[in-house]
Structure 1
Amino acid sequence: MPHAHSFSANYCKMGNTEELDLVVIGAGSYGLAAAKTFLEVNPSASIAILDSEETIGGVWAERKLYPGLKTNNMLGTYEFSDLPMDTATYGIKAGEHISGEVVHRYLKDYARKFGIYSKIRFQTKVLSAEQAGGEGWLLTVTKGFSDKDALKTSEVLAKKLIVATGVTSDPFLPRFSGSESFGAPLFHTGDFKEHAGTLESAKTVAVFGGTKSAWDAVYAYATRGVKVEWIIRESGHGPTWMAPPYVTPLKRWLEKLVHTRFITWLSPCIWGNFDGYSRVRSFLHGTAIGRTLVNTFWGILGNDVKTLNKYSSHPELAKLEPWNDAFFVGASGISILNYDTDFFELVRNGTVSVHIADIEGLAPKTVLLTKGERLKVDAMVCATGWKHRVALDFLPKDLDLGLPHHTTSAPNAHTKQANEEILSRFPRLKQRPAARPKYVPLTENKGISDEDLAPPEETFEPFQHYRFMVPPSTIRDRNIAFTGFQLTISTTIMAQAQALWIAAYFSDKAGAVAIPADEEEVRYEAVLHNRFGRWRYPEGFGVIPDFAFDAVPYLDMLLTDLGLDCHRKRGLLRDMFSPYGPEDYKGLVGEWVSRVKR
């Protein structure tokens, strides 16, 4: 581990350095839950939440609430356990998807109710975090957005630091050949609201990408009568899986389905045995009969979605059929049709034209495709994802915090051992999808570039955090944690569980959270769990944890670490077949506080 700087030797000369017990970077769902929980456990602590936006919410900040934005979740599944999102207060009825405006309001209410809204410092960006010996982390921050304000830097010493900026805070906007002559609005979906005027002014727009954000942009324009030229890369991952809210022949609510313990058994999961049903999992994934049952389930689920969407009924709809196997798709590759009207009718009636092609470059108000097509447009929207990195510098530079990075090193012993364990326990994962012969990473496409590209001989190492939260190298320091750096459809219950785990980890109470005494065991588990994502969800990003059907066993694992009961239902049958939701995790903090006081 790199030598830690001594705070007293290096920083005490800065007499105006503010000292706080806890600093949380990010005021989205995860950051708010982390701050609220830490303050609940430590009522007298001095804390601050630093956020670069002007308003609360993270991805639900006011600046990002583009027209028509809704959650994939319906009422009852996107709320914290201790603040129900009731219809009387928020106007959302049962069976309705939640608008972005309501989520923003809800998060503001949550922060105010639990006394953390006043702790938020808006328009405050953290530039760097320097390890300050046993004192914590010295943060260099700027206030405001203007050039003048940007010069006003200050320092904050955080005894404990939680990074909650998440994986959707730094938009990736490719640089296209010829973009300087495009002469029309060209923007990322993250900046859609700032360009909402194009919904009225544009006659034709190009939407680039096949993710849910692309579908949202297509719908927003097409429902206003704007012609949409939808470009999905021929060399990419193809269209995302778009499922109706209710799936399978039994018409089960998808959000509830993925949180039903019985269904989670049908998903190979390296941390799955924490639910106590290891024999069931061993049968399903370790025997030929079991794997046949598993394959049958995933086949039914995938075919049901395709049938309900009627892809084969129209040549343009056929272009939107997913290219990958539903079994290998994580949360990043599946979404919900949460639109007020029939999305597919916009394709059938010609308002939306789908182009399976790559972009050659741009010309004045023209998108040039590799198949020779020239699309005349008045604007172009890019649904090209996010940079999978933490948008601040950690010092010293050689500090190993388990963050994604480029490397030329050969796989280490832990990686090899993890691969062997994963494939031994789950032979089905050996049958990975065949490589697409035309696949090329977005930033290597002809006509597209990015200044952050690494040399092609390098490989990219993903996050390597214990429990997806703590760098193994700092596991004994107990002063830094990352929350929300995974993609799931279980945001609120995941946020509050991680918040309690981190609060316990930061605590000096004996037995607060179970962590292996052997640091090598910690390092191996971090590699094992993160490496599992590469095998289980190869259709995902491969850099960040990305899972859908594995959320309940992940929560089981965290609660077990905390010494709490992970079986929250009354009766065996309810535990197995009744879906878990926010209501089942109510009172976790109180349970943990009572346990450690005994």
Structure 2
Amino acid sequence: MEELDFVVIGAGWFGLAAAKTFHQIDPEKSLAVLDSSSTLGGVWAQHRLYPGLKTNNLLGMYEYPDFPMDTETFGVKPGEFIPGPVCHKYLTKYAEKFDIIDKIRCGNEVESAEHQENGGWILTVLSDVTDGATPKETKILAKKLVVATGLTSQPFLPHIDGQESYGAPLFHCKDFLQHADTLDKAKRATVFGGTKSAWDAVYAYATKGVKVDWVIRASGHGPCWFTPSHVTPLKRWLEALVLIRFFTWFSPCIWGFADGYAAIRSFFNGTAIGRAITDAFWWFLSNDVIRLNKYDSHPETAKLKPWTQAMFSASSFSILSYSTDIFELVRNGSAKIHIADITHLSPHAVHLSNDTVLSSDALSCATGWKILPAIKFLPEGIDKELGIPHAPSPSDPYDFIEKADKEILEKFPRLKDQPVINKRYAPLLDNKGMSTTDHINPSTPLTPYMLHRFMVPPSPNLLARRDIAFAGFLMHFTIVLSAHIQALWINAYFRGGASIPDCTSAEAMDKLKYETVLFSRFGKWRYSGANGARYPDFVFDVMPYHDLLCRDLGIAVHRKKGMLAELFEPYGPEEYANVVSEWMEKQNSVKHG
């Protein structure tokens, strides 16, 4: 059996960052990155690069702090969105630059991970899973394990009544590339869903001259927020706006204390005057988006007006990265919107709950993702100890939950007034015609993720071993910055830093457990219009999250030069370019001091 010092499962943004940071700190130790896909990249692996795919991000924000995406190498100019193939190329270059490209083992699927009594994990790995041959089973002992498969690896595609007789391509948006021929062959396509992936599919079909029927569930969350890249009367770059410290104060945040401005935050979120100012900020932000997109200028575009309040939405905010106006495709009839549920399929037809029957040569489904890792963790029952979603049990920390809810609502009275998103809302599988044979689906009642700092299990046994961490099990605009900082935090945690976390006493352990529950429950109240009740999903709270990790690491939290810059200029990748070397120097000085 092969024995490795450090194993990462997943070769996307977070997995590559974790591996690179480990190799940077301990270049002599053994390392492997396992990924079931045929190429690295995660979301940006080659098989997922469907036609026209671009990032939500303009050049300058979607890059590792220590590896700038320069125009000369990658061909993207300032003010441009980044095409999917460029993201794949960039991640490949990153792995080459930091000498981990030969550590990546694509086509290797981790079937199970079994914790060992003395520490470490025995991985059962199926190799050669992408070449059509019979997979080979091997075993690997990983002394330290990072699970970086993320929240968008496994597509959820329900079974729709009658799909066996549909007779046309039916696929999840993840597999759009494998069905790209429908862009040329289909005369009329159906797109099911209201998320960014659905908008992308609508745009791809309609700009190729294919008539599109866009079905958005009447019993769902409605269309997601789509914004121009620059918002507010000041025309601020949206993804930079969320990284301006001043604006983060308008977001109630339970870990906001980490930025060192607790008194100001308390004013904006804990006083009547402050809350009025905060409400005004969110009103201006959301109404500016509605005005810029001109939803109410046409009866069809009005159907795309978001059903959720901007304040209670999270990473479902998306940015208009299309080359031409997608709303014009709706106004001119190239894409027709149906607010209805799908009841069943018949040959080349989609049947809706309003009795409409759509002629259909292809059905592209943006129906979400399975949020659990596709790995069986052993021994049986360790899921709860790991802090990953599991079936609720009487021994779950209900006393902590009640206490956490009370603290959240006392600190942030605004959150007591929860919005009603859709009075007709029902989980997808509660709809007529929808079912699944899979035991893991978005409608299964599971506990949320309960990970300390959204990365490590709040378990005395596993904290003592410090041999597993979860990277990238969160969603927000600026995930690449988080990938970089989480990677350092995880590597520091594995090395046993006493303050990451302090669990040296029963009192410290209880504090850690409570804080973990508190942060998890916060998502339920703060982002009820998104997925906050299931996993960390936030927007303006990313800055204080990075502050929190920097505090744990003992490195500088305030990284700008001067108070005005600190408060009113956006943080970018450049502020975090040297955090690894900064931390390493600090460790060396402690060791030799």
**TM-score category by the smaller chain?**
over 0.9
What letter is aligned with 1:490?
T
Structure 2 residue 159 is the aligned partner of structure 1 residue 175: yes
**Does the Cα contact within 8 Å between 1:515 and 1:561 map onto a contact in 2?**
no
**Does the Cα contact within 8 Å between 1:513 and 1:563 map onto a contact in 2?**
no
Within the candidate set 359, 377, 396, 2:360 is matched to 377
Within the candidate set 311, 314, 333, 1:330 is matched to 314
Within the candidate set 256, 276, 279, 1:295 is matched to 279
**Does the Cα contact within 8 Å between 1:415 and 1:528 map onto a contact in 2?**
yes
**Does the Cα contact within 8 Å between 2:37 and 2:130 map onto a contact in 1?**
no
**Does the Cα contact within 8 Å between 2:258 and 2:548 map onto a contact in 1?**
yes
- The equivalent residue for 1:488 is 476
Q: CA 1:527–1:588 in structure 2 vs 1: closer, same or farther (change >3 Å)? A: same
**Does the Cα contact within 8 Å between 1:142 and 1:150 map onto a contact in 2?**
no
Structure 2 residue 409 is the aligned partner of structure 1 residue 430: no
Structure 2 residue 324 is the aligned partner of structure 1 residue 341: yes
**Does the Cα contact within 8 Å between 2:250 and 2:278 map onto a contact in 1?**
yes
- The equivalent residue for 1:451 is 437
- The equivalent residue for 2:350 is 367
- The equivalent residue for 2:520 is 530
Structure 2 residue 454 is the aligned partner of structure 1 residue 463: no
- The equivalent residue for 2:369 is 386
**Does the Cα contact within 8 Å between 2:221 and 2:421 map onto a contact in 1?**
no
Shift of 1:349: 0.5
What letter is aligned with 2:292?
L
Q: Helix, strand or coil for the counterpart of 1:134?
A: coil
Q: Residues 443-592 of structure 1 correspond to what in structure 2 (within 5 A)?
A: 443-452=429-438, 459-473=445-459, 474-508=462-496, 511=498, 513-517=500-504, 518-541=508-531, 542-592=533-583
The 2-side partners of 1:61 and 1:46 are apart by: 25
Q: Helix, strand or coil for the counterpart of 2:386?
A: coil
- The equivalent residue for 2:178 is 194
Shift of 1:158: 0.1
The 1-side partners of 2:136 and 2:27 are apart by: 31
Q: Helix, strand or coil for the counterpart of 1:406?
A: coil
What letter is aligned with 2:388?
L
- The equivalent residue for 2:97 is 113
Q: CA 1:469–1:411 in structure 2 vs 1: closer, same or farther (change >3 Å)? A: closer
The 2-side partners of 1:453 and 1:593 are apart by: 44
The 2-side partners of 1:323 and 1:87 are apart by: 38
* Post-superposition CA distance 1:159-193 (Å, at most 9, x none): 00000000000000011011111000000000000
Structure 2 residue 389 is the aligned partner of structure 1 residue 404: yes
* Post-superposition CA distance 1:501-544 (Å, at most 9, x none): 00000114x55745343211111111111110000001112211
**Does the Cα contact within 8 Å between 2:308 and 2:421 map onto a contact in 1?**
no
Shift of 1:457: 12
- The equivalent residue for 1:350 is 333
Number of equivalences: 580
The 2-side partners of 1:503 and 1:40 are apart by: 10
What letter is aligned with 2:310?
A
What letter is aligned with 2:376?
D
Shift of 1:444: 1.2
Structure 2 residue 146 is the aligned partner of structure 1 residue 162: yes
- The equivalent residue for 1:261 is 245
Q: Helix, strand or coil for the counterpart of 2:540?
A: coil
The 1-side partners of 2:205 and 2:373 are apart by: 32
Within the candidate set 178, 201, 224, 2:208 is matched to 224
**Does the Cα contact within 8 Å between 1:468 and 1:545 map onto a contact in 2?**
yes
- The equivalent residue for 2:24 is 40
**Does the Cα contact within 8 Å between 1:18 and 1:155 map onto a contact in 2?**
yes
Shift of 1:147: 9.6
Shift of 1:460: 2.5
What letter is aligned with 2:568?
F
The 1-side partners of 2:422 and 2:177 are apart by: 35
**Does the Cα contact within 8 Å between 1:511 and 1:596 map onto a contact in 2?**
no
Shift of 1:435: 5.3
Q: CA 1:459–1:245 in structure 2 vs 1: closer, same or farther (change >3 Å)? A: same
What letter is aligned with 2:306?
P
* Post-superposition CA distance 1:348-391 (Å, at most 9, x none): 10000000000111111100000000001100000111111111
Shift of 1:152: 1.4
Shift of 1:458: 7.8
Shift of 1:454: 8.5
The 2-side partners of 1:46 and 1:144 are apart by: 21
Within the candidate set 375, 394, 404, 1:418 is matched to 404
- The equivalent residue for 1:6 is none
What letter is aligned with 2:372?
R
- The equivalent residue for 1:20 is 4
- The equivalent residue for 1:12 is none
TM-score by length of 1: 0.95
**Does the Cα contact within 8 Å between 1:212 and 1:240 map onto a contact in 2?**
yes
* Post-superposition CA distance 1:545-575 (Å, at most 9, x none): 1001111100000000000111010011100
The 1-side partners of 2:512 and 2:473 are apart by: 18
Shift of 1:411: 6.4
Q: CA 1:466–1:92 in structure 2 vs 1: closer, same or farther (change >3 Å)? A: same
Q: Helix, strand or coil for the counterpart of 1:476?
A: helix
TM-score by length of 2: 0.96
Q: CA 1:456–1:247 in structure 2 vs 1: closer, same or farther (change >3 Å)? A: closer
Q: RMSD of the alignment, in Å?
A: 1.6
Shift of 1:406: 2.4
* Post-superposition CA distance 1:474-527 (Å, at most 9, x none): 22211000000001111111001000000000114x557453432111111111
Q: Helix, strand or coil for the counterpart of 1:460?
A: coil
Unaligned runs of 5+ in 2: none
The 1-side partners of 2:376 and 2:397 are apart by: 26
**Does the Cα contact within 8 Å between 1:231 and 1:358 map onto a contact in 2?**
yes
Q: Helix, strand or coil for the counterpart of 1:217?
A: helix
Identical-residue share of aligned pairs (%): 54
Q: CA 1:117–1:490 in structure 2 vs 1: closer, same or farther (change >3 Å)? A: same
The 1-side partners of 2:86 and 2:441 are apart by: 44
What letter is aligned with 1:500?
L
The 2-side partners of 1:341 and 1:463 are apart by: 39
